[in-house]
Structure formats: C-alpha cells, structure tokens
C-alpha cells in the first residue's frame, strides 16, 4: 500500500510530466516565430500550455514532450500543423474597431477613388483585410463601401475584398458570417437594420451578415511570412492592423516591403493605432495617424 508521501511524490511526478517544460516551450516558441513571425516570450509559457492542453486530450497524447515529437514529425507537419496554428494565434476583433480609420476610408479614400472612376481610370476597388480573424473587419469595410455606393448611385462603382488569415478556424467562422447580437453594438442602429439578419427564433441572439456583403468578400488562408502571397493584383487599400505588434523589427520591415509591393501607386495602407512604420526607404508617406499612402 502506498503511503501519503508516496502518493504526494507520485502527484509531483505526474505534474512534471504533464507540464510544458522550458525546453519544449523554447522549441515551440522558436517554431512559432520562424513560421508565422510571432514572438512568444517566456511570460507566455503558461498561456501556450493552457491552449495546447485540449490538443493533447483530443489526440490522446499524455505529455507535451510526446506532443512536440508528434508535431515535428512528418505526419504531424501534415496533419497537426493547422490545428497547432489555430490554437496559438490570437484572434481579437470587433466591428468598426478603430472607427477613425473607417471614417477616413469614407471621407477621404473613397471620394478619391470616385473621382478616378469618373475619369475612366478605374471603376473597381480592390481591398485586402490581412489577418482578418473572424471577419469583423472585412465586413465593416464592405458595409462602408456599400453605403458609399448607395449614396453615389450616378457613378459606376464596384469593389472586391480579399480577407486572409493563417487560422483556418477563424476563416470558417468568417465565411459563416454569424455573430452574437452584442457583437454588432458598435454598428449604428440604422446600418444594423440594413446589413444584419436576425434569427427567426427570437430567443436566439444571433445575427448574420446579408448576402449582399458576403458576396463581395473572398476569404483565403494566407501566412504573412510567405515570400509570395499567391495573388497578382495590386490593392487599392490594405488593412493590416494590430499585427506588427507581435513581430520583431526585422520581421516588421520585411513584411512592410512585401505589403508595399502589393499596394498600387496612390493606394492606402492602414495600420494599428499603436503601430508606426519607418518609411525612410519606402515609397510611403504618413497621411493620418497609422494611415500611409504610396506615392509612386
């Protein structure tokens, strides 16, 4: 029969076996940084451990060591990598987050585009919502463009939005376009009535984006660390907000260059409110807080 001390020793042993070790954390954090560019300091060790526990349970893997061995195997890279990325990425998003950006889009960017379309230069606007998460940002952009188009019916005006994220889980949610009613509170009431459909069940506090807006957005998985984004078009507007804060300086600089390459001359790049770019070696100028314009 085991004594109390034996049982206590066993519990410590199980705890050590069950916890993410510093070595395993370093392996995983290094891979996260190299693959998706996100820095994961040691202060995030418990966060990573907590997020991965469900994967261990789902896979019926007993230890983080065994999970690491599986993840970095050929089979794991094929079958588990997507799940791993879905678990470790942060997906904070809201409708009309950073409202001044949407005001600038409506008041400044779209009139410029409308003037160009009147002269026959262009009549289809291309926009990219990078790291779109659950789609709130992309649908907010679509809502602004739809409203602008309705208020300028005399001019031919069309648009397409590319919305990308590395997480397949959030992209699946974004495509469904179903949200809790409380999530759309930042949207003005008049626009809520126009662009969100309520459930036929009054007890179901869910809403869905109208087909008119859903049809304007193409959702696709994309890793911002890839050298080639796998699309040819240059964008008129790029929203890449609250992404750079997770990257080191070199990753930020490299990504800025790639984004700039995908932006047409006179196009606009929207960053997060706490993110600033060094434009010294790039054809970008600051035109408003965290908004940049490509000058050539």
Instruction: Look at residue 278 in the predicted model and tell me its pLDDT.
Output: 67
What stretch of H or E contains 284? Answer: strand 284-288
Q: At what angle do helices 22-36 and 81-88 cross, to 10 degrees?
A: 90
What stretch of H or E contains 207? Answer: strand 206-209
Q: What are phi and psi of 294, to 5 degrees?
A: -85, 125
pTM listed for this prediction: 0.81
pLDDT tens profile 224-281: 988 888 888 899 999 999 888 888 888 888 899 999 999 999 999 999 887 777 667 8
Residue 232 annotated as catalytic: no
Catalytic residue among 55, 134, 165, 236: 165
pLDDT tens profile 56-89: 988 998 888 999 999 999 998 988 888 888 888 7
End-to-end CA gap in the chain? 80
Take residue 265 and report the two structure tokens written for it: 């001359």
Q: Report how far residue 141's alpha carbon sits from residue 270's, in angstroms, rounded to the nearest whole number.
A: 12
Tell me the CATH number of domain 99-294, given options 3.40.50.1220, 1.20.140.150, 3.40.50.150, 3.90.1150.10. 3.40.50.150
- The average pLDDT across 172-192 equals 93
Q: What is the DSSP string of 214-275?
A: HTTEEEEE--TT-S--S--PPEEEEE--S-GGGS-HHHHHHHHHHHHHTEEEEEEEE--TT-
In the chain, residues under CATH classification 1.10.155.10 are 4-88
Catalytic residue among 18, 23, 39, 51: 51
Tell me the CATH number of domain 4-88, given options 1.10.1060.10, 1.10.155.10, 3.30.530.20, 1.10.3720.10. 1.10.155.10
Q: What are phi and psi of 180, to 5 degrees?
A: -70, 145
In the chain, residues under CATH classification 3.40.50.150 are 99-294
Residue 165 annotated as catalytic: yes
């Amino acid at each position: 029969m085991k004594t109390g001390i034996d049982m206590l020793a066993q519990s410590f042993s199980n705890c050590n076996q069950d916890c993410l070790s510093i070595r395993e954390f370093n392996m995983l954090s290094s891979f996260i940084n190299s693959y998706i560019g996100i820095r994961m300091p040691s202060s995030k060790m418990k966060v990573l451990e907590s997020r991965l526990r469900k994967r261990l349970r789902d896979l019926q893997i007993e230890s983080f060591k065994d999970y690491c061995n599986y993840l970095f195997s050929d089979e794991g890279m094929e079958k588990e990598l997507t799940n791993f990325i879905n678990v470790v990425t942060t997906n904070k998003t809201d409708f009309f987050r950073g409202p001044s950006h949407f005001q600038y889009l409506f008041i400044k960017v779209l009139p410029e585009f409308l003037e160009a379309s009147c002269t026959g230069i262009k009549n289809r606007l291309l926009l990219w919502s990078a790291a779109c998460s659950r789609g709130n940002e992309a649908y907010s952009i679509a809502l602004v463009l739809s409203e602008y188009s309705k208020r300028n019916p005399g001019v031919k005006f069309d648009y397409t939005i590319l919305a990308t994220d590395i997480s397949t889980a959030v992209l699946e949610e974004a495509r469904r376009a179903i949200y809790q009613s409380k999530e759309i509170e930042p949207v003005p009431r008049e626009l809520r009535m126009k662009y969100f459909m309520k459930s036929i069940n009054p007890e179901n506090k869910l809403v869905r984006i109208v087909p008119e807006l859903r049809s304007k957005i193409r959702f696709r998985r994309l890793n911002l660390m890839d050298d080639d984004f796998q699309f040819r078009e240059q964008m008129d507007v790029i929203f890449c907000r609250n992404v750079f804060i997770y990257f080191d300086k070199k990753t930020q600089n490299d990504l800025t260059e790639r984004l700039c390459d995908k932006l047409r001359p006179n196009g606009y790049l929207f960053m997060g409110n706490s993110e600033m770019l060094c434009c010294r070696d790039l054809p970008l100028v600051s035109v408003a807080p965290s908004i940049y314009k490509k000058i050539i």
